[in-house]
């Protein structure tokens, strides 16, 4: 296999060579409970949002993509508050003040989070107002405030409000007969101060106007009103300019937009409910009106009204975010699809196909001859969909088994499974209906599959099924042959165009037997036989990874070559971090490519000098989990569905599969790992203080981007 021994990587500081006869001195005793060895999980996640936001400020990024990165940051922060901040607030509510491994309890963590999150939000709106919107205007795309409207535009807005907006608004007066309304999670609302009395003699003074989600937040002006540019305005501006029409006969003294973020983590005790589907449906409905965790208001909102809202939502001053712009910032992403300017977006590309699949009529025959490795999105996800479609109509196929975590509402994958079930094949689908924010979609597709005659199960109580696997059983002559697909990403054709992942299509007997045993575990009972190749969480994966790390440490202690390169979304499990620290102390060269959360602190003297951590951000979301171990020259390489987090390794059903074919191992090393280690234009390096520094190419060296190189290599761009 081509690997670190034969391919150059980004150079690290040279260390004195170690002789086999003179192994390194034993490492000093380390107190593994020392909080200084670990970063806080939530603050590390906020650092990731800071890196995403930085993409919106890069002049080299196409302009509309900069806008999209800005809204992605806003959406990510929404989820951060809905889940992470909400969880910490719940710990305090339940009296759980025990500090984490970083030494922070929930109170201290929330204090630090508030400080960093306020900085991030301020930076978001600075980038929006000072960089992105002016650049858009120079390019002929204007997001017009009320003060920017011409007289004709103002008249058009007034007519639009009267015909499209006013009929669906429902103002709620705040008086003894009308208590403060329960506003929806992340919904746009206005709080309005009015003067005067109505025919009933009421002198209310204040009202709330919730804005229905059915109304578009970004409204394009007709071409005849914006001939020289693409003109847009926001729904919030439209309502604000016409708010008097909502309160006829009264004088509006003030009108201010606000938005509330609520706890969105579903609370279902699977062992205490008889019907998981019914319980989840109830929790999904509750999510829209659960406990508030954040209040956003426009920065022109008077302090008195902000305090009034905080009191109503039982929030503190630290939960208030005053923003210079729309409170629902992520909704302006609608402009991205409305503006048809290809030069302002990333260039389109056609995903490549392995040569063996380009003219193949029978995918089973291709896979039977030799496994097929696909690297998405640079290579198309279509072969996986077409393979399932072929299996659905192939009379030789007897059964299809599959895990579904996220797949989309209108999925071709589900279409193929439905056709297979209706054709009389045995179709078993393990649907994870607790996939966060996809619960409703997964409940619907589970019902659709059941209606078609498929056997739908929901995995193992207490463990989410996060594994990505397909098993196809086909009769060939007198024998049954099993085919499998295992991968690092979801069976979602949409995200397969935006997430980087690898997938393996194989007829390997031992691997297929392992996947068969995995499905037997997921749908039935009993202890399965030992696996041949597959490593499953929460049973084999964690101890197997620890053992491989320890073996690298033992090799380094003997003065032999030892190396670990691992790519993942998040690294948070204390046991894995401690194992990596020990390996570093033994002299193992460790490179970690971690997109998001990383609780491991590199560069600690005597502990982690041999560990480097980098994060790749670019056009696509880096998603593959790939692990490399030198293993005494064996150079073991794995793909996996699992990040190195406690939940993945101990509380989820996860798969980890070997990349066995030499040709594939060379590809994965070159395209996934080495490319990330060589990247000097979209990579960020984690520092010992928890900050990240963007890597720049040395003087005279060309810029390298892992994603750009893969596009050129596999998609021909």
CB-hemisphere CA count at 13 Å for 425?
A: 30
**CA distance readout (Å), 425 to 393, 419, 422:** 9, 9, 7
Rounded to whole angstroms, how far apart are CA atoms 35 and 278? 42
Q: Which of 240, 463, 466, 485 is catalytic?
A: 466
Residues with Cβ < 8 Å from 285, sequence gap 6 or more?
Answer: none
Residues with Cβ < 8 Å from 405, sequence gap 6 or more?
Answer: 432, 435, 438, 465, 466, 468, 490, 491
- CA-closest candidate to residue 713, choices 666, 670, 676, 662: 670
Residue bearing tokens 């107002």: 129
Residues with Cβ < 8 Å from 686, sequence gap 6 or more?
Answer: 594, 598, 602, 613, 614, 615, 692
- CA-closest candidate to residue 504, choices 522, 520, 521, 483: 483
- CA-closest candidate to residue 198, choices 254, 255, 158, 246: 246
Is residue 231 within 8 A of residue 282, CB to CB? The reply is no
Rounded to whole angstroms, how far apart are CA atoms 692 and 48? 9
**In terms of residues, how long is the chain?**
717
- CA-closest candidate to residue 490, choices 436, 561, 544, 559: 436
CB-hemisphere CA count at 13 Å for 329?
A: 31
Rounded to whole angstroms, how far apart are CA atoms 442 and 90? 27
Residues with Cβ < 8 Å from 179, sequence gap 6 or more?
Answer: none
Surface-to-core class of residue 25, CB atoms within 10 Å of its CB (0-12 exposed, 13-18 middle, 19+ buried): exposed
Rounded to whole angstroms, how far apart are CA atoms 68 and 269? 37
Say whether 466 is catalytic: yes
Is residue 644 within 8 A of residue 572, CB to CB? The reply is yes
Rounded to whole angstroms, how far apart are CA atoms 279 and 284? 9
Before 377, cis peptide (omega within 30)? yes
Is residue 577 within 8 A of residue 607, CB to CB? The reply is no
Buried b (16+ CB within 10 A) or exposed e, 227-256: eeebbbbbbbbbbbbbbeebbeebebeebb
DSSP character at residue 688: T
Q: For the chain, how far is it from start to end, CA to CA, in angstroms?
A: 27
Before 146, cis peptide (omega within 30)? no
Q: Which residues pair with 124 in a beta bridge?
A: none
Buried b (16+ CB within 10 A) or exposed e, 325-357: bbbbbbbbbbbeeebeeeebebeebebbbbeeb
Record the tokens describing residue 319, joined without a space.
């939960």
Q: What amino acid positions are annotated as catalytic residues?
A: 466
């Amino acid at each position: 296999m081509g690997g670190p021994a034969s391919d150059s990587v980004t150079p690290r500081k040279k260390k004195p060579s170690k002789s086999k006869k003179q192994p390194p001195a034993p490492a000093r005793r380390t107190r593994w409970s020392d909080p200084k060895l670990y970063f806080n999980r939530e603050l590390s996640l906020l650092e990731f949002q800071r890196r995403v936001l930085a993409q919106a400020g890069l002049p080299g990024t196409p302009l509309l993509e900069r806008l999209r990165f800005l809204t992605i940051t806003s959406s990510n922060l929404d989820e951060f508050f809905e889940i992470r901040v909400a969880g910490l607030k719940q710990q305090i509510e339940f009296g759980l003040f025990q500090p984490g491994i970083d030494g922070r309890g929930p109170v201290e963590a929330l204090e630090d989070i508030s400080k960093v999150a306020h900085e991030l939000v301020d930076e978001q709106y600075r980038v929006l107002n000072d960089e992105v919107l002016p650049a858009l205007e120079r390019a002929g795309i204007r997001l017009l405030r009320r003060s920017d409207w011409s007289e004709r535009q103002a008249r058009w807005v007034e007519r639009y409000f009267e015909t499209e907006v006013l009929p669906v608004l429902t103002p709620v007066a705040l008086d003894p007969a009308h208590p403060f309304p329960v506003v929806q999670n992340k919904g746009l609302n206005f709080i309005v101060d009015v003067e005067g009395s109505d025919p009933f003699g009421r002198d209310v003074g204040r009202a709330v106007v919730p804005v229905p989600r059915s109304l578009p937040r970004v409204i394009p002006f007709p071409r005849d009103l914006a001939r020289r540019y693409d003109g847009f305005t926001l729904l919030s501006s439209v309502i604000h300019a016409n708010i008097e029409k909502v309160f006829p006969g009264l004088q509006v003294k003030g009108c201010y937009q606000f938005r509330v973020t609520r706890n969105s983590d579903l609370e279902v005790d699977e062992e205490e409910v008889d019907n998981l589907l019914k319980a989840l449906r109830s929790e999904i409905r509750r999510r829209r009106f659960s406990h508030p965790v954040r209040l956003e208001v426009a920065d022109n909102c008077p302090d008195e009204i902000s305090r009034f809202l905080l009191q109503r939502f039982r929030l503190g001053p630290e939960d208030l975010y005053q923003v210079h712009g729309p409170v629902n910032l992520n909704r302006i992403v609608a402009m991205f699809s409305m503006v048809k300017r290809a030069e302002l977006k990333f260039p389109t590309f056609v995903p490549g196909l392995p040569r063996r699949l380009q003219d193949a009529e029978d995918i089973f025959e291709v896979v039977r001859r030799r496994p097929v490795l696909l690297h998405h999105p640079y290579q198309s996800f279509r072969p996986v969909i077409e393979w399932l479609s072929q299996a659905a109509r192939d009379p030789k196929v007897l059964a299809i088994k599959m895990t579904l975590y996220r797949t989309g509402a209108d999925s071709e994958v589900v279409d193929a499974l439905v056709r297979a079930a209706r054709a009389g094949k045995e179709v078993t689908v393990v649907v994870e209906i607790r996939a966060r924010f996809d619960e409703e979609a997964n409940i619907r597709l589970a019902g659709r599959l059941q209606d078609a005659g498929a056997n739908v199960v929901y995995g193992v109580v207490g463990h989410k099924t996060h594994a990505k696997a397909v098993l196809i059983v086909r009769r060939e002559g007198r024998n049954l042959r099993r085919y499998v697909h295992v991968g690092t990403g979801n069976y979602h054709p949409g995200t397969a165009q935006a997430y980087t992942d690898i997938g393996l299509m194989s007829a390997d007997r031992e691997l297929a037997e392992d996947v068969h045993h995995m499905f037997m575990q997921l749908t039935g009972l009993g202890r399965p036989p030992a696996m041949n190749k597959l490593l499953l969480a929460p049973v084999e994966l964690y101890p197997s990874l620890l053992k491989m790390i320890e073996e690298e440490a033992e090799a380094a202690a003997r003065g032999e070559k030892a190396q670990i390169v691992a790519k993942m979304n998040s690294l948070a499990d204390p046991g894995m971090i401690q194992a990596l620290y020990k390996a570093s102390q033994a002299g193992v060269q460790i490179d970690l490519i971690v997109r998001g959360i990383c609780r491991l602190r590199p560069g600690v003297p005597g502990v982690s000098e041999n560990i480097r951590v980098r994060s790749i951000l670019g056009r696509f979301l880096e998603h593959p989990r790939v692990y490399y171990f030198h293993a005494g020259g064996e150079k073991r390489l794995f793909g996996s569905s699992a990040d190195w987090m406690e939940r993945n390794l101990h509380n989820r059903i996860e798969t980890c599969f070997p990349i066995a074919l030499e040709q594939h191992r060379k590809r994965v090393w070159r395209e996934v790992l080495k490319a990330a280690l060589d990247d000097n234009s979209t990579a960020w390096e984690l520092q010992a203080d928890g900050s990240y520094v963007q890597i720049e190419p040395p003087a005279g060296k060309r810029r390298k981007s892992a994603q750009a190189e893969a596009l050129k290599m596999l998609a021909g761009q």
